[in-house]
Amino acid sequence: MLSVRDLHVYYDGIHALKGISLEVPKGKIVTLIGANGAGKSSTLRAISGLVKNIKGSIVYDGRDIAGQTPVDIVRGGIMMSPEGRKIFPHLSVLDNLMLGAYSRNNKAEIQKDLEWVYEVFPRLKERSGQKGGTLSGGEQQMLALARALMGAPNLILLDEPSLGLAPLLVKNVFDIIQNINEVGKTVLLVEQNAFAALKIAHYAYVLETGSIVLEGTGKDIMQNAKVCEAYLGG
Amino acid sequence: MSLAMFVQHLLNGVTLGSLYALIAIGYTMVYGILRLINFAHSEIFMLGAYFVFWGIVLLHLPWAVAMVVAVIVVGALGVLVDRIAYRPLRDAPRISALISAIGVSFFLQNLAIVVFSAIPREVYRPDWLENAIVVGDIRVLPLTLFVPVLSFLLMMGLVFIVYKTKPGLGMRAISKDIETSYAMGVPVNRVIAITFGIGSALAAASGIMWTLRYPQLQPVMGMIPGFKAFIAAVVGGIGSIQGAVIGGIGLGLIEIMAVAVFPDLAGYRDALAFILLIGILLVKPTGLLGEKLEDKV
Ligand SMILES: Nc1ncnc2c1ncn2[C@@H]1O[C@H](COP(=O)(O)OP(=O)(O)O)[C@@H](O)[C@H]1O
Ligand SMILES: [Mg+2]
């Protein structure tokens, strides 16, 4: 479904991604783990068309989307839930969700997805008129996930969805990611919480200062001693 | 002051204030989204008035039709200004766009001098504006009813667009977080273009109504009202549409009332705006309804 080849990302003077390649097969959960500053967000932002200065190819459904505008990429069926959730605190929960559906025009289908999203996240339905900023951290993360789903993506990019959440909520979030995957969404999951991510991922890549240093199935990586010491805290 | 006089001053103040408010809305919307002070906005105001004049003289349009046409054409012109002068600088340091704005302002003003000439022109005013309505001992000029009512309707239209339509949702999102708006698939440049179009159309409407009150056309006519409207936007809280409306109407009322109560102050009228600005900013640095805006890098 998504095939990244030799991707480089540059910020003025900083070579943040040094030619990474990765595959995200249809229907799978693939995770990209690594320490802070490794280049995980840069990878997702490059796929979403948010960083301009990139090199390499990003082939999605057979077409190279590198260099396309974010709007085109969203229309093509890729939605991102950015790091730090980035919900709009001054807008209502409903408006936040509608922003996720901004690129779509079929009102009936949007309404149908809204109802589905409200079913998955009943809390959001209760609070649909409330400002996003008044939600708790966990609820904001649910809103960010739901907002991404409102774009009716085939591929969903999640940037550290467990960031700053209490352990119980983290489990909750990962359960939901698995559910999302089971209804047919392909997931590229970026995490610092390697252990939780590896548990649900079909395949994993380990990123270190802009390069992929290790890849394998979630289980393999979890058993790999190197990862244990570097990312799972022994 | 008799009640009759008070009512007249009040209507005059609201009339002047509505005109400031319509201009201030454009400043505040553009600033809210791009953190850009659109210096060309006062020239947009001026062009609205000129286009009506030429619509009547050259195309023999009735006044109302000329006004609608001018508002639409100037709205489109605002979109064009953004496309040519600001959009290419979207990723440049903010000072570049600011300098570009000053450039556009000079350009449009000088273009107006070349094309329209600097000689002030008389403005055609529709007949129905001339006859005062007399209720008891209150004498009301139709203008002081027409301007606030039309302004109110335009503002209601704006509220509808901002709070009930998709581009409006895009505007509210972009003004808070442009990067995440991009990520959500909001066509940011198109939404910004719509914002310029709306702001410019409102400024044009203000310029046109301004010449009903001060019936003289000049290429520099936008400078003072534009400046005061900008102050009104800052006083109200730059970035806030409600703030721009309150700031604009408040400034108009204060100007008219102050001169009515202290006729000796008439000469200092233009200074009032600054006194108000300094006074408000000392007490509330973000303006009346402003929230702290994070700096955009
Ligand atoms: N907008 C930016 N401008 C300059 N450097 C950046 C920017 N974003 C990220 N970087 C740098 O790129 C590297 C990778 O960052 P990032 O992709 O955010 O890593 P991660 O998400 O794995 O923490 C870091 O060294 C970071 O400082
Ligand atoms: Mg990151």
Test A88 with B177 for CB contact under 8 angstroms.
yes
Chain B residue closest in CA terms to A107: B166
User: CB contact, 8 Å: A75 with chain B?
Assistant: yes
CATH number at residue B56: 1.10.3470
Please tell me the distance from the alpha carbon of residue A129 to that of residue A136, in angstroms, as a whole number.
15
Sheet holding A54-60, edge to edge: A14-24, A2-11, A54-60, A63-64
Interface predicted TM-score of the whole assembly (ipTM), two decimals: 0.93
Architecture of domain A1-77+187-234: 3-Layer(aba) Sandwich (3.40)
User: CB contact, 8 Å: A70 with chain B?
Assistant: yes
Which ligand is the nearest neighbour of the Cα of A38? 1
Answer whether A32 contacts ligand 1 (Cβ < 6 A): no
Domain that holds residue B28: 3-283
Any domain includes B112 = yes
Q: What is the pLDDT of residue A229?
A: 63
Q: What is the pLDDT of residue B290?
A: 81
Test B185 with A102 for CB contact under 8 angstroms.
yes
pLDDT tier at B267, thresholds 50, 70, 90 = confident
Answer whether A100 contacts ligand 1 (Cβ < 6 A): no
- Name residue, tokens 């000088």: B110
Any domain includes B296 = no
Give the number of A-B residue pairs with CB atoms closer than 8 Å.
61
pLDDT tier at B297, thresholds 50, 70, 90 = very low
Any domain includes B294 = no
Cβ pair B43, B203 in contact under 8 A: no
Test B170 with A102 for CB contact under 8 angstroms.
yes
Any domain includes B14 = yes
User: CB contact, 8 Å: B270 with chain A?
Assistant: no
Please state the pTM of the whole predicted model.
Answer: 0.92
Any domain includes B290 = no
Any domain includes B288 = no
Any domain includes B105 = yes
pLDDT digits (tens, 9 = 90+) for B193-211: 999 999 999 999 999 999 9
**In total, how many domains does chain B have?**
1
Comparing B20-29, B80-89, B259-268, the range with the smallest average pLDDT is B259-268
Q: What is the pLDDT of residue B60?
A: 94
Residue A82 Rama label (left phi>0; alpha psi -120 to 50; beta): beta
Q: What is the pLDDT of residue A230?
A: 64
pLDDT digits (tens, 9 = 90+) for A131-173: 999 999 999 999 999 999 999 999 999 999 999 899 889 999 9
Any domain includes B297 = no
Structure tokens at A38: 């490794």
Answer whether A38 contacts ligand 1 (Cβ < 6 A): yes
Residue nearest (by alpha carbon) to ligand 1 atom 26: A37
B254 pLDDT more than 90 = yes
Q: What is the pLDDT of residue B296?
A: 41
Test B185 with A147 for CB contact under 8 angstroms.
no
pLDDT digits (tens, 9 = 90+) for B143-155: 999 999 999 999 9
